Each structure stands twice: as C-alpha cells, then as structure tokens.
Structure 1
Amino acid sequence: MDYQSIEFGLEQGIARITLNRPEKLNSFTAAMHGELADALSRIESQGARVLVLTGRGRGFCAGQDLSERQMSAGAAPIDLGHTVETYYAPLVRRLHALPMPVVVGVNGVAAGAGANLALAGDIVIARRSASFIQPFCRLGLLPDTGGTYALPRLVGRARAMGLALLGDKLSAEKAEQWGLIWECVDDDAFEARLDELARHFATAPTQGLAATKRAIDASLDHTLDQQLDMERDLMRELGRSADYAEGVAAFLAKRAPVFGGK
C-alpha cells in the first residue's frame, strides 16, 4: 500500500508511524484509518520490537476531520457508533494488544480522538508546547477512542470529569504533573528523547515488556488473587525465555545483556 496520510518505516526493530496530514493537524479520515490498520498489520508480522507514533507538523492529531461529517439538508444522521466500532475502537484495541512497547511522541496539540489515541500508548512524552484537549462536550458528544476508559484511570474521576465536561486545554507540563503522560520534554530536546526511547526498547527484552503490558492492563479489573495468579503464569512462561537466560548470564558475568526479544 502506498501511504498518503501517514509515513511508515521499520528498521532495526523500530517501527515508526508518523501521522502525515499536517495541513489538517493530522485529523482522522477513513483513508488514514485504513493506512494505520495496514501499517499495524505489517508491524505485527515483521518483527518490530517497539512502535513509535508521532505527528508531522505543528499538531499531533486534531481528532476526526469534521469535513467528512458534514450533513446535507434532509440527510439521515451519521451513525457515529458505526464510526467508533469500525475505526476508533479497533485502533485502540490493536495498540493495547501489540506485544511491544508503544511510545507516543505528542509533538503538538492532541485533541479529541487524537488526545485519546495518544493515551493508548504505553510511554507518552510531549513537547512542552503541546497540549491535550477533550472537546467532545462542545459537540454534544462524549470522549471516544477509549477516552472514558483512560482518563479516570490515569488522573482520577474529578480530573477526568473536569477535562471531559469542560473541554479546557491542558498543557503538557500539567499533563505530566497529573500523571496523564510520562514526560514533558523541552521542545528542542523532544526528537532526541523520542529516538533515545526507541533505541532503548529496540534492544530490551521484548517478551517481558509485552507481558508487563498485559499484566498491568489486566490488573485494573482483577482481584488481588486473580492478579497474583496471572503473575505466576506469566513468570513461568518468561522464565523459559531466551531473554531471561541471557539476562541472568549477563548479570553473573557482569556484562551488558544482549537481548533478542525472544
């Protein structure tokens, strides 16, 4: 597939997706969703060990391109539930299920579905000049793309309600302070930090990191006993991995480990 709305690359275990509609602040279209789905299929099948997701230009993603939602007089209402079920929900599910870290670099404004796309990442960093906005309330809607799931879990009910019901802009610095994202980075250091994280995860024990993702996500709905059982089962599996053997051997030999992601 020739991509028009995104840029995609995969090299040395690092998959990179850059949303590439800068003139529209990388807002979503059906075509962009199709390209993202294709790129994720390539990532799942081609041995990537980390995904880096960011945007081109001055915005990360401004959410849905509303020019695709214009209704002519007398036309039937657009089925937004179909849009969520067909595009946004599968995208969030696939990012959560990827057996590798998903690093999101928020290079500018992240609004609506774009903000919640960012929150679907595992490690989220943002330029200090970036911001997060949940503008759904201004359109008579609710935060989709996993927004109503992620927000209260990341920042608590009170802050989630304020963000969702008021739609105020949240700075990257405050997003870090609230625990919405991992790190706020000075603009001139942003690209280097994103590359540093990509290189780190490309040489890390990928299976262990994937299992960590699964366990932490599951813990939100598990009892303590269920979580302890899951930890037991995953540790049993990881204890048989080549990366664990390499980690132990490297520790005993007092050398840096060389993980193969297996």
Structure 2
Amino acid sequence: MQIRGRLFLISGGASGLGRATAQDLHAHGAFVSVLDLQREAGMELASQLGPERFRFYETDITNSDSIAAAVKGSVEWAKEQQVPLGGVLAAAGTGNAALIINKKNEPVPLSEFDYILKLNLRGTVDLIRQVVPHMTNNAPFGPDSERGVIIMVSSSTAFEGQMGHSAYAASKGAILSMTLPLAREFGRFGIRVMSIAPAWFETKMTARLNESARKNLAKGFEFPKRPGKPEDFALLVRQIVENGMLNGEVIRLDGATRIPSKM
C-alpha cells in the first residue's frame, strides 16, 4: 500500500518505537496522528514535524473516551485534508517486572497485573475496534482493493518470557494470538493485520534496565551484536505497509536473539 498521502494513527508515538515510526512515515509523505499521554514529548515532536501533516492528541489508551476523542479528531482532519485512513500502529505499552509471589511469600497486587493487561492488550483492542469502522469506509485502492493495514506490537517475551514478566508476557502473547484471527476477520474488508515482536530495543522502557540485566541480555545476541534501534523497527513497519502479501503473521525482529530465563 502506498504511504504518501494517507493518514496513519500511532498510539505511543511520542517516544521510542512509535516515535521513530511516526518520523519515518512522515518523511515518506504520510499524514500522522500520534496518540500518547506524554504531552511534552508529543508537542516537541509536533514542533519538529510541523502542522501540515502531523497532529498530536494527548490520549490515555486505557480510557475508551480518550481514544474516541483522538480517533474522531484524526478522522475529521483526514476528511478536511481529503486523505484516506491508511493504517494504525498500536505501539502504546508498558512492562513492569513483578513476581506473582514475592520473596516474602506474598501475592502480587492484582492491580499491577491488571494495569499491564489493560494498557498493552485492552488498549490495543480498543484502539483497533474504534478505528476499523472508519477504515472500512475507505474507497478500495490498488489492484488488491486494499482499505488499510493494522500493525500491533508483540514481543520476544511472548516466546521466551522471563521470570517476573508473567503479566507482560501474557499481554504480548495475546497480541501474538490475536493476529491471525483479526486478519481473517478483517480480510473481507481488504484490511491486513500484522504484528511485530521486537527483542531488546533501545527505548525509554529498556533504559530502566540495570547493568547486570543488560549484560545478561547481551549474552543472547547473535548478529548484530547490539540491541535494536527504533529506526530498525520503523523500517519494518514501512515494509509491512508497502507489501500487500504481509498479512496474519507475527514477525520476530530480534537478530536471532533468544532471551535468557533470568535477567
């Protein structure tokens, strides 16, 4: 699918992988709406990219009304600019480590588990369910009569979860499991669904890792011998958008890295 002259919504787009993708798609002629709770970072990105093809919506992805307002604003902007809604990247997420039973033999507060699922999983589904009805109204374009693409973010943790990351692994494993069913559901509309499962990427979230954890993770590197860069992720997003045969699959973006059982 063509990138230029189409609108893409990116949740979690004010920083990390989402931000790099917003910059890359914008550089290739896309209109971009970023939905993020980080107002300062979002406004800084808006200043960098300019108002012509960029909008920032301060959005709480755990709140349906907040998502609805951002989607409504984005769709109205697209109509004003007479551009179709090309796709959505659901990149908002978090991953705090917590043992289900701690060293004091106490269970983890269920609120901690629930929050990760609410942001990573429910927030992804909520964004998709609110965007797709607008995407199905697109006039079909190209030889395959495509109407758009949805890209979700899973994780290598969905395959090799570490101790203490049960909630994160559960949320990202659910993203993995949803990919094919959603592709089968939306295929009748000409909408593709893909997921990317990154390993260790240099982002704000992974910057919190201590030196010991970094060294343990680095032992799993094959080639290249480094963490991924946000630009690597953005490149794959662009390739997914442009390649119409990529559908219903989860792509591991990890340089053959396999995460050890413990940090």
- TM-score by length of structure 1 reads 0.33
Higher relative helix content: 1
Q: TM-score, structure 2 length as denominator?
A: 0.33
Larger relative contact order (C-alpha < 8 A, sep ≥ 6)?
A: 2
Larger Rg: 1
